Structure 1
Amino acid sequence: MKNTIVIIALVISAMCYAQDTSEEKLPYYEVPEYSKEFTAGTMAARMVDGLGFRFYWASEGLTEKDLNYRPSKDVRSSEDTIDHILDLSYIIVNSTLKQPNSRVDKSKMTYEEKRKQALMNLKTAAEILRGSDDISQYKIIFGENEIPFWNQVNGPIADAIWHCGQLASFRRITGNPINPNVNHFTGKVKEAKD
Structure 2
Amino acid sequence: MMKFTILISFLIINLGAMAQEQELPYYELEEPIENYTAGSVAARMIDALGFRYYWASEGLRDVDLDYKASELGRTSAETIEHILGLSHFILSSISEESKKTVDKKMLFEDQRKQTLFNLKKASNILRSSKDLSEFDTARHPFWNMINGPISDAIWHCGQLVTLRRASGNSLNSNINLFSGKIRD
Q: TM-score, normalised by structure 1?
A: 0.84
Q: Deviations over 1:128-160 (max 9, x none)?
A: 000111111113x6xxx5211000111101110
1:71 aligned residue: 69
Cα distance in 2, alignment partners of residues 87 and 70 from structure 1: 19
1:86 aligned residue: 84
Letter in 2 for 1:128: I
For this pair of structures, how many residues does the alignment match? 180
The higher relative CO (CA closer than 8 Å, separation ≥ 6) is in 2
What are the ranges of 5 or more consecutive residues in structure 1 without an aligned counterpart?
1-6
Query: Could you say what secondary structure the match of 1:146 adopts?
Result: coil
Matches within 5 A, 1:110-189: 110-139=107-136, 146-189=139-182
Letter in 2 for 1:76: R
User: Structure 1 residues 34 and 175 mapped into 2: Cα distance closer, same or farther (>3 Å)?
Assistant: same
Cα distance in 2, alignment partners of residues 17 and 87 from structure 1: 30
Deviation at 1:13, TM superposition (A): 9.3
Cα distance in 1, alignment partners of residues 73 and 117 from structure 2: 27
What are the ranges of 5 or more consecutive residues in structure 2 without an aligned counterpart?
none
Deviation at 1:21, TM superposition (A): 5.7
Letter in 1 for 2:114: Q
Deviation at 1:73, TM superposition (A): 1.0
Letter in 1 for 2:120: K
Matches within 5 A, 1:29-44: 29-44=27-42
% identical equivalent positions: 50
Q: Deviations over 1:40-86 (max 9, x none)?
A: 00000000000000000000110000000001110011000001101
1:4 aligned residue: none
